[in-house]
Amino acid sequence: MRKFKIERKFVPLLATIILFSLGYAYGAIQYEGMRDPQAFLNLFTDNAFLLITSIGMTFVILSGGIDLSVGAVIALTTVASAHLLEKEGLSPAIVIPLMLLMGAALGAVMGSIIHFFKVQPFIVTLAGMFFARGMCFFISLEAITISDPFYRTVALYRIPVFGSFIPINVVIALVVLVIAMYLAHFTQFGRTVYAIGGNEQSALLMGLPVARTKVLVYTLSGFLSALAGIVYSIYLLSGYGLNAMMLELDAIASVVIGGTQLIGGVGYVFGTMFGVLITGLIQVLIMFNGELSSWWTRIAIGLLTLIFIGVQSAFAASGEKRRKITVAARKKEKGEVVDYQVKSISFSSMEETEFEAFIRSNW
């Protein structure tokens, strides 16, 4: 009888799913309100915008980068769209594509600076964050209420689901999730993102379009941040420069809790959805508790993020050591000299078949 075995690359994702399932089961046992299916669907309703921007952040982190501008881009999108709708009287058919184009353009500019000028993503996206947040208050110092009929109709529309309901925002988020999963796992773009995150120099040696892909990754992140901003403005029916404060940290935490490694090259978009659900679940549990401050949400998310980073680091170190032992054993069998360093993987010392196996295992 063959023993059931889970592949190592699926372990972080499985751990995230189990953690969410146990957390929700605990909430359902403790609080009667969480047994209502609508309480589960509300996790998607309240975090649709976070899921969308976290998906963009997943691609960025998979490529070995970081994007600190996502929260500011969301705020800029809410303010700019509210201003164009209410003050300039433009149609949503013009405003929405314009906002998506703006987000994609900001992402493309940051991605180009990161790759072609060899500036650290942290610095470039931090500058992008300051620029976008500053532009919010250049447009308006006060909150702008959105009274556009289209926005209000979309905000109030409900789709029936097994006796409960979800808004259109959730449908948009789930469609983005499905498209992102296809891009990540079934296209050359996705394979290149994983290869760049695993080892950018090796990706260049393989002839992969590294420059184009890195720029596209940040373009995609900017586009999805703008889309999240539109969803957020529909959710709140307003635009304000202080919207989505520190949301970039929530997005990073969701990606990490979802099983994606901060060093890049390993992770799944599907896991990010459960990372977002876990952050939303923590807020719901604290709300149902009624005695704890809302700041306990930050404390819990921070602790979970630290735990997942620690586990991922130990997991990555263990996997690297096992690969090196395997390679060394193969070389010893062939009677070749073994001089592997334990600190890092040298792709030049791997045979072609071994290199291909490594790439496949990380895809």
pLDDT digits (tens, 9 = 90+) for 211-221: 999 999 999 99
Residue 35 has pLDDT above 80, yes or no: yes
What's the rounded mean pLDDT across residues 305-309?
85
Cβ-contact 233, 82 below 8 angstroms = yes
Domain range summary for the chain, segments of one domain joined by +: 8-362
- For residue range 178-217, what is the model confidence (pLDDT) as tens digits? 999 999 999 999 999 999 999 999 999 999 999 999 999 9
| Sign (positive or negative) of CA dihedral 28, 30, 36, 39 | negative
What's the rounded mean pLDDT across residues 292-311?
84
C-alpha 256/C-alpha 317 separation (Å) is 17
Higher pLDDT, 225 or 322: 225
| Domain 8-362 classification at class level | mainly alpha
Three-class SS of the chain: CCCCCCCHHHHHHHHHHHHHHHHHHHHHHHCHHHHCHHHHHHHHHHCHHHHHHHHHHHHHHHCCCCCCCHHHHHHHHHHHHHHHHHCCCCCHHHHHHHHHHHHHHHHHHHHHHHHHCCCCHHHHHHHHHHHHHHHHHHHCCCCEECCCHHHHHHHHCEEEECCEEEEHHHHHHHHHHHHHHHHHHHCHHHHHHHHHHHCHHHHHHCCCCHHHHHHHHHHHHHHHHHHHHHHHHHHHCEECCCCCCCHHHHHHHHHHHCCCCCCCCCCCHHHHHHHHHHHHHHHHHHHHHCCCCCHHHHHHHHHHHHHHHHHHHHHHHHHHHHHHHHHHHHHHHCCCCCCCCCCCCCHHHCCHHHHHHHHHHHC
Q: What is the pLDDT of residue 203?
A: 93
Q: What is the pLDDT of residue 71?
A: 96
- For residue range 97-118, what is the model confidence (pLDDT) as tens digits? 999 999 999 999 999 999 999 9
Q: In which band, very low, low, confident or very high, does the pLDDT at 350 lie, cut at 50, 70 and 90?
A: very low
Q: In which band, very low, low, confident or very high, does the pLDDT at 345 lie, cut at 50, 70 and 90?
A: very low
- For residue range 116-140, what is the model confidence (pLDDT) as tens digits? 999 999 999 999 999 999 999 999 9
Q: What is the pLDDT of residue 249?
A: 93
Q: What is the pLDDT of residue 310?
A: 82
Residue 346 has pLDDT above 50, yes or no: no
Q: Cβ atoms within 10 A of the Cβ of 356, count?
A: 11
Residue 228 has pLDDT above 90, yes or no: yes
Residue 1 has pLDDT above 50, yes or no: no
- For residue range 140-152, what is the model confidence (pLDDT) as tens digits? 999 999 999 999 9
Higher pLDDT, 70 or 333: 70
Q: In which band, very low, low, confident or very high, does the pLDDT at 309 lie, cut at 50, 70 and 90?
A: confident
What's the rounded mean pLDDT across residues 50-72?
97
- For residue range 247-282, what is the model confidence (pLDDT) as tens digits? 999 999 999 999 999 889 999 999 999 999 999 999
Torsion of CA 334, 336, 338, 340, to 10 degrees: -90
